[in-house]
């Protein structure tokens, strides 16, 4: 009996060792219950993933993993993105965190990229921050404790910190997020032909202001058409002035924190959508077609010396600044009322 028990124990130990070796070969680490992060190596044996209880797989790479897609075993989400600072993962955080949440509740999830260092770690951190209420620092500390070479690139770190600032949601009213989104869009637009570029413009461009808008409205000087309001301003800090145009090199002066008021640059407005699909061009009033400015997706240098990317530049001589009408309810005369 003793000999039989010893044999069973040895067999179990052997099976465990084989399983652990296979698991190590898969290159994945458990971060919290039912959530793994790993490299592409982790996808090489779908049957082993099933033994680990994995039901959902997230790939963050330049292409999907056919072996996982074709296995029929897993719910699968592919996020296209290379490990560059300028790659925009922030826009995908909500859908990926929802997918991971579904997976950890019904089974287990593997999130992987090529090396399991930056992109996959970024997605897992976004999940921990949103669903577990962790701060950026705590999420990074936990992931690095579980996977020692976890190291999101600088661009992804900025995206995670912005996500934290917005309380783990995408807030279109947040100025930093609006600038980030527009900069990301500029990069995307530069990489595509004009005929394809329109599909990348966000569907929620700022609405054209109305006469009842409580904000300061800028109107076409020629026909009085409302074009944009002050909240559309794309703010930038004052650049180094004339030194920025000096061919001998940049100025050694420290960067200013003062907001520039030399020119008007704005976020794109809904009426522009059909006219800003080229890399650059003019901005015309949607009513009378008078030129009111220009746009350059790869950026333009403001007279203050600062580069604005992308640049939607309004000519101040072509628009009028109109303050909202202040109505004093106390002095308003109703119809039929004696004055």
Q: Which residues are catalytic?
A: 113
- For 314, the token pair is 């309004």
- For 134, the token pair is 């962790």
In a 13 Å sphere around the CA of 331, the CA atoms on its Cβ side amount to 3
Please check whether residue 266 is in contact with residue 232, taking contact to mean a CB–CB distance below 8 angstroms.
Answer: yes
What does the DSSP 8-state code read for residue 223? T
CB neighbourhood size of 36 (10 A):
27
Integer Cα distance of 184 and 136 in angstroms: 22
Please check whether residue 116 is in contact with residue 83, taking contact to mean a CB–CB distance below 8 angstroms.
Answer: no
Integer Cα distance of 324 and 216 in angstroms: 6
46: which strand partners?
A: none
Q: What is the β-pairing status of strands 291-296 and 280-284?
A: antiparallel
In a 13 Å sphere around the CA of 164, the CA atoms on its Cβ side amount to 19
Phi (first) and psi of residue 131, to 5 degrees: -90, -30
Please check whether residue 163 is in contact with residue 93, taking contact to mean a CB–CB distance below 8 angstroms.
Answer: yes
Integer Cα distance of 158 and 152 in angstroms: 10
The four Cα atoms 15, 108, 123, 46 give a dihedral, to 10 degrees, of: 50
Integer Cα distance of 269 and 245 in angstroms: 30
In a 13 Å sphere around the CA of 191, the CA atoms on its Cβ side amount to 8
């Amino acid at each position: 009996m003793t000999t039989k028990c010893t044999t069973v124990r040895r067999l179990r130990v052997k099976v465990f060792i084989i399983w652990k070796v296979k698991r190590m070969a898969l290159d994945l680490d458990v971060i919290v219950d039912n959530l793994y992060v790993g490299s592409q190596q982790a996808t090489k044996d779908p049957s082993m993933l099933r033994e680990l209880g994995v039901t959902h797989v997230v790939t963050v790479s330049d292409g999907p993993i056919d072996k996982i897609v074709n296995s029929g075993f897993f719910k699968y989400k592919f996020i296209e993105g290379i490990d560059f600072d300028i790659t925009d993962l922030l826009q995908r955080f909500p859908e990926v965190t929802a997918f991971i949440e579904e997976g950890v509740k019904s089974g287990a999830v593997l999130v992987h990229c090529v090396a399991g260092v930056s992109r996959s770690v970024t997605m897992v951190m976004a999940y921990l921050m949103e669903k577990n209420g962790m701060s950026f620092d705590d999420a990074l500390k936990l992931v690095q404790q579980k996977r020692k070479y976890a190291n999101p690139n600088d661009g992804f770190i900025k995206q995670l910190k912005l996500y934290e600032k917005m309380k783990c949601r995408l807030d279109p009213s947040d100025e930093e997020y609006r600038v980030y989104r527009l900069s990301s869009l500029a990069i995307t637009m530069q990489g595509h032909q004009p005929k394809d570029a329109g599909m990348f413009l966000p569907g929620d461009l700022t609405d054209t202001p109305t006469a009842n808008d409580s904000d300061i409205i800028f109107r076409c000087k020629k026909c009085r058409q409302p074009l944009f309001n002050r909240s559309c301003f794309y703010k930038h800090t004052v650049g180094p002035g004339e030194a920025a145009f000096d061919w001998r090199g940049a100025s050694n002066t420290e960067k200013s924190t003062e907001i520039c008021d030399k020119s008007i640059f704005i976020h794109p407005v809904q009426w522009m959508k059909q006219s800003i699909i080229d890399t650059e061009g003019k901005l015309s009033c949607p009513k009378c077609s008078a030129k009111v400015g220009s746009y350059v997706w790869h950026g333009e240098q403001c007279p203050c010396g600062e580069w604005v990317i992308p640049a939607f530049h309004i000519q101040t001589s072509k628009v009028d600044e109109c303050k909202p009408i202040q109505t004093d309810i106390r002095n308003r005369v109703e119809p039929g009322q004696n004055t």
